[in-house]
Structure 1
Amino acid sequence: MRERAILSTRNEYVDAVNALMIDRFSGKHKVFYSFDSIDDDSCNNYYLGFLNSITPNGLPPHELKVKKNCHVILLRNLDPRNSLCNSTRLVVRGFQNTTIDAEIVNGQHAGKRVFILRIPMSPSKNLILPFKFKRKRFPIRLSFAMTINKAQGHL
């Protein structure tokens, strides 16, 4: 599984396969939820349930379900000098409420243990939303299945 993944053309299909695979994976699971907010929304005009339900391009979903020894992929550049770059594959070795302990699977730093923290993420600037959306979450996603970005939306 270190060198393999199921490839798909759409995020919805990838999410369905990843959900199926994590349920078949042995061990106890932990579900992490994002902290969603709107910049400059002092009146709380947007319902939190609505914010949690949207997944703009470039952001992971609101919910992350992980188990020990499951494979994940990094979604942001955290520390390029230590191979913590976008698309680095990791194996979850443990988790607490505020951190995920993972091991790098590929590259020159394979076998190195790292701690992943929640970070604030925003959708790309070309997305048209009537507000400035921010999601604070672990910058990882399950990687049993992944998208083929160039083919996404063409089929």
Structure 2
Amino acid sequence: MVIPFTRKEKSLNALIDAIFPSLEINRSKSDYIISRAIFSIRNDSVDKINGRLIVKFIGEERLYYSLDEAIDDINNFYPVEFLNTLSVSVGCPIILFRNLDPSTGLCNGTRLICKSFQHNVIDAEIAVGQHTGNRVFFPRIPLCLSDEDMFPFKLKRKQFPIRLCFAMIINKAREQTIPNVGIYLPESVFSHGQLYVALSRGISPANT
């Protein structure tokens, strides 16, 4: 199951090519895109992989800025440029990271495909589960940060509740079944249970 390690960048590219073969030919096929994903431990590794894959898409790309404000930051120690961006392209996979409307399939962890962009709305299609094929429109929404976000200031953020999901952290993979799974472990997993979650998301060892 292991891709032999040669050099860090070369081996990561080999993993991406193994999970997303012939991406240039198949990038417009939703079934192809949603049937594969790479799991990793940390958000920085996930962001690195997502960044490599999104540049392979052709056509329209949109850059959406979150509306961020550091509350009570009278000295402007934390300018808006410090705070966050989201770059998405038509046809790319995205994952929802808030429970918006579970009765219609819009739960934390739902995977979707981007279909089009409006100035303040992202048009997407649910790609998994009993609501597959339903079109939804995401506006920016206020997001409250958890206690785990240890900023030295109180952050007020209004943004789209989605992120790219060619790759995702292992914790987001719970209860997902994906035909073609890659697991990128540049460092040790936090626990055996976490590794089990990653290994059990695929449908067979041959496709993991």
Deviation at 1:3, TM superposition (A): 2.6
Contact 2:68 2:80 survives alignment (8 Å) = no
Identify the match of residue 149 of structure 1 among 141, 159, 171.
171
- Percent identity among equivalent residues? 49
Identify the residue that residue 18 of structure 1 maps to in structure 2: 50
- Give the structure-1-normalised TM-score: 0.84
SS in 1 for 2:47: helix
More deviation in 144-153 or 26-35?
144-153
Identify the residue that residue 141 of structure 2 maps to in structure 1: 119
CA distance, structure 2, for counterparts of residue 10 and residue 84 of structure 1: 24
CA distance, structure 2, for counterparts of residue 6 and residue 108 of structure 1: 23
Q: Higher RCO, 1 or 2 (CA under 8 Å, sep at least 6)?
A: 1
SS in 1 for 2:69: strand
CA shift digits 1:81-134 (9 cap, x unpaired): 100010000000001110000000011110000001101113212433332112
**Distance verdict in 2 for CA 1:71–1:127, change over 3 Å:** closer
CA distance, structure 2, for counterparts of residue 66 and residue 136 of structure 1: 17
- Unpaired runs of 5+ in structure 2? 1-32, 173-184, 192-208
SS in 1 for 2:51: helix
CA distance, structure 2, for counterparts of residue 134 and residue 153 of structure 1: 32
After superposition, residues 38-117 of structure 1 pair within 5 angstroms as 38-41=70-73, 43-49=74-80, 51-52=82-83, 62-117=84-139
Contact 1:36 1:51 survives alignment (8 Å) = no
SS in 1 for 2:36: coil
**Distance verdict in 2 for CA 1:126–1:67, change over 3 Å:** closer
Deviation at 1:142, TM superposition (A): 0.4
SS in 1 for 2:163: strand
Q: Which has the larger radius of gyration?
A: 2
Identify the match of residue 129 of structure 1 among 129, 147, 151.
151
- Unpaired runs of 5+ in structure 1? 53-61
Deviation at 1:45, TM superposition (A): 3.7
CA shift digits 1:6-27 (9 cap, x unpaired): 1111111110110110100121
CA distance, structure 2, for counterparts of residue 74 and residue 126 of structure 1: 19
SS in 1 for 2:125: strand
Identify the residue that residue 8 of structure 1 maps to in structure 2: 40
